[in-house]
Amino acid sequence: MGVEGIGARVTRKEDKRFLTGKGRYTDDMTVPGMKYAYFVRSPHAHAKIVNIDVSAAKSMPGVIDVLDGRQLQADGIGNLICGWMIHSKDGSPMKMGAWRPLAVDTVRYVGDAIAIVVADSSGEARDAAEAVVIDYEVLPAVADVAAAMQAGAPQIHPEAPGNLIYDWQIGDPDAADRAIAAAAHVTEIDIVNNRLSPNPMEPRATLGIYDSAEDHYTCYTTSQNPHVARLVMSAFYNVAPENKLRVIAPDVGGGFGSKIYIYPEEIVCLWASKKTNVPVKWTSDRTEAFLTDAHGRDHISKVKMAFDADHRITALKVDTIANLGAYMSLFSSAVPTYLYATLLSGQYAIPAIHANVRTVYTNTVPVDAYRGAGRPEATYLLERTMETAARELGLSPAELRRKNFIRSFPYQTPVIMNYDAGNYEASLDAAMQAADWSGFATRRSEAQARGKKRGIGMSCYIEACGIAPSAAVGSLGAGVGLWESAEVRVNAVGTIEVLTGSHSHGQGHETTFAQLVASRLGVPIESINIVHGDTDKVQMGMGTYGSRSGAVGMSAIVKALDKVEAKAKKIAAHLMEADESDIVIENGELKIAGTDKTLPWFQVALAAYTAHNLPSGMEPGLKETAFYDPSNFTFPAGCYIAEVEVDPETGETDIIQFVAADDFGNIINPLIVEGQVHGGLAQGIGQALLEGVHYDENGQLLTASFMDYAMPRADDLPSFKLSHQNTPCPSNPLGIKGCGEAGAIGSPPALINAITDAIGTNRLTMPATSMKVWQAMHAAH
């Protein structure tokens, strides 16, 4: 592997700028003449806009202009869209209500943008926003799905009667019903997956710059996928044609899904820059982030799992209702369908599965993908159900899982996915050994002697990453292809730039992608730069989400490297008068195999550009582009074990140990992969113990700051025990699966299984706060 190549624990190339304050995030950008924006937002969850009076605001100090939705509409700016078409089981298309970047006649959630104020300073913009007078006719609002689905509930969009967006299904309902009727045992459980706020530490921001001389727009933005932002803003929102719109996502301070989507603010700031003829910058504050960043999860489900007399699962039947908020965000429709229900087979051979999913509008901020996106919901549902079944059947949780593991691959599930490889028992065994599972009974007795309730819980997760063959997702309704691109540009002196459509916002691509190139060519990683995040520099790309940058983004680099190497070998063969097939690339040299005849890499690069002596007919230069479209999803899987102690007096949960055994296939950089798991675990543990978005019955957000929404802090978490099993993925050239989301997917059920084991009652919902745990203990007695 070498000290810098694939598999090495290389410290990150990008760290120095972040450690010395030289990171360049969107809010750090200033350009001459730049002004500041503040958005006027609805204080009501549901209301008609009767009148907007901006006259007082316009005369406030420093104000350049105040613009509203009617002007935006008059200029032809389009509505926001959801880019994944889902059809209901009756064949009808999903019911997408209009989402205007600035609301014109109706507001549908607290925080819905109505007008933009542009002023000399952010303080003046904020002051003037206070002076915008809006008359509302307040309408009844609904914040949860149960209320939204009741007869006579307030109607949120005229396009969606009963607030129902779609009523979709997957699998075979009759087969599932038959198996349940014939079962020796049926476990039934209601599952709630709590609503979360992603909260990357960098709030969203955007800087819109209109150049009237060139009729050209530049958009700096906090995006995980700048090319998709440009595509959508051009093709659907009529901001500008693609050749007149440059989108730059510079350093981005975390995303976790919430920065995939194109929000109203980017569109409005670009448009406002043209209207006012000044560059316009907007930076979200944290309360605005809680109010307007897409939330995650928010499912309620009813589950039946059937077993035969030998404790083999014979069927799974799931009925889920998902809250999509007030509008359909960019990929919102795909999350509770193809990213969720297709994973309901988990690690288990289940002959019959049926899932029905209804999605519902409410007067809350839109809900979309958040770290894991559908897969945490599937895993939580399955692993809580498996644990409950084991308790009902009087079996050890490990043995019930072991008995039902899929053991032969490829394995076709009844819900679309075709698992290409896996070894679930290896992760289970590794986790149980690391957790000293067999010593738990002794530890429990010891804790009992101290007056503490000790519990242990496991979770065996599977997920699907590297989304996915473009033709396959297209047939399921995706509006885009999900390939990735790379250009490997060898300079005349042999240094290398790799242009990638993936985007790094914490994942360390500048290091791992360089490791791949270093491995292939044997050149030092200092001589390799990774270029990303700018539509003017990088060819079209699809961005980073769903743990796809390794499996898809790096595979594109492999393809481009193949082409570069092939051309370099031709040049070297020509220069050394050897046969092309005898040339090998080793340690930064091109060598005639079996001889000591070599050419340094830089000489071959130089020869490509001087073009004085190239093979006949060869074009000068050494630069190749590749687009890689995966042949399948990848399927990371693993086993997590949590051990907790609950204080019976207070209900407080202390995590004694947390073990994660993950199979990510081949690993490029273990240091970075471990970091991804740590971060995912913290978010999953946060969901299980601390985090929850709460709206009151009128749709007012009660958790709109870090004072009210409990983010995991250092003293809420333990250090983690990690191990890796490495079953290579056969579906991509590097054999890698993806590691970004596993921690957040596998950890919540392990925690809740452990706490319910400790307190001896199975009824507990996330977040399992001290109060809820205490109440659950006392309700049980």
Site residues (vs other proteins, CB under 8 A)? 11-12, 14-25, 27-28, 121, 123, 199-203, 251-254, 256, 283, 285-287, 505-508, 671-672, 674-675, 678-683, 705-707, 711-715, 717, 719-720, 743
CA distances from 126 to 38, 115, 131, 274, 501 (A): 6, 12, 9, 21, 36
The Cα 92–Cα 168 span in angstroms is: 10
End-to-end CA distance of the chain: 58
Q: Shortest distance, CB of residue 689 to other proteins, whole angstroms? A: 13
The Cα 101–Cα 76 span in angstroms is: 12
What are the structure tokens assigned to 56, written together? 């007082």
Residue 124 main-chain phi, psi, to 5 deg: -70, -35
What are the structure tokens assigned to 121, written together? 């300073």
Q: Shortest distance, CB of residue 757 to other proteins, whole angstroms? A: 23
Contacts of 751 (CB under 8 A, 6+ apart): 457, 642, 644, 655, 684, 685, 688, 689, 768
Q: Shortest distance, CB of residue 655 to other proteins, whole angstroms? A: 12
Q: Shortest distance, CB of residue 709 to other proteins, whole angstroms? A: 10
User: Closest by alpha carbon to 303, among 468, 442, 380, 189?
Assistant: 189
**Considering beta carbons, is residue 222 or 301 the nearer one to other proteins?**
222
**Considering beta carbons, is residue 203 or 397 the nearer one to other proteins?**
203
User: Closest by alpha carbon to 258, among 227, 289, 218?
Assistant: 289
**Considering beta carbons, is residue 683 or 732 the nearer one to other proteins?**
683
Going through 371-513 in order, the beta strands assigned E by DSSP cover 411-412, 418-419, 453-462, 484-490, 496-500
Residue located via tokens 């992969």: 673
**Considering beta carbons, is residue 269 or 704 the nearer one to other proteins?**
704
Q: Shortest distance, CB of residue 237 to other proteins, whole angstroms? A: 27
Contact by Cβ (8 Å): 522, 588: yes
**Considering beta carbons, is residue 24 or 407 the nearer one to other proteins?**
24
**Considering beta carbons, is residue 18 or 405 the nearer one to other proteins?**
18
Q: Shortest distance, CB of residue 682 to other proteins, whole angstroms? A: 3
Side by side, the strands of the sheet bearing 623-628 are 528-531, 496-500, 484-490, 623-628
**Considering beta carbons, is residue 140 or 675 the nearer one to other proteins?**
675
Q: Shortest distance, CB of residue 505 to other proteins, whole angstroms? A: 6
Q: Shortest distance, CB of residue 671 to other proteins, whole angstroms? A: 5
Q: Shortest distance, CB of residue 20 to other proteins, whole angstroms? A: 7
**Considering beta carbons, is residue 424 or 513 the nearer one to other proteins?**
513
- Element housing 755 (H / E): helix 742-759
Rg (CA), the chain: 27
Residue 134 main-chain phi, psi, to 5 deg: -120, 125
DSSP string, 680-748: HHHHHHHHHHT----B-TTS-BS--STTTS----GGG----EEEEE----TTSTT-B---SSHHHHHHH
**Considering beta carbons, is residue 171 or 257 the nearer one to other proteins?**
257
Q: Shortest distance, CB of residue 583 to other proteins, whole angstroms? A: 37
Q: Shortest distance, CB of residue 254 to other proteins, whole angstroms? A: 4
**Considering beta carbons, is residue 300 or 711 the nearer one to other proteins?**
711
Q: Shortest distance, CB of residue 722 to other proteins, whole angstroms? A: 9
Which amino acid, residue 580?
Answer: E
Peptide bond into 767 cis (omega under 30): yes
User: What pairing do the DSSP bridges indicate for beta strands 637-646 and 453-462?
Assistant: antiparallel
Burial class from Cβ neighbours inside 10 Å (0-12, 13-18, 19+) for residue 497 reads: middle
**Considering beta carbons, is residue 352 or 704 the nearer one to other proteins?**
704
**Considering beta carbons, is residue 13 or 623 the nearer one to other proteins?**
13
Longest distance between any two alpha carbons in the chain, whole Å: 88
Side by side, the strands of the sheet bearing 35-41 are 63-68, 113-119, 35-41, 280-283, 205-211, 216-221, 245-248
Q: Shortest distance, CB of residue 361 to other proteins, whole angstroms? A: 29
**Considering beta carbons, is residue 539 or 703 the nearer one to other proteins?**
703
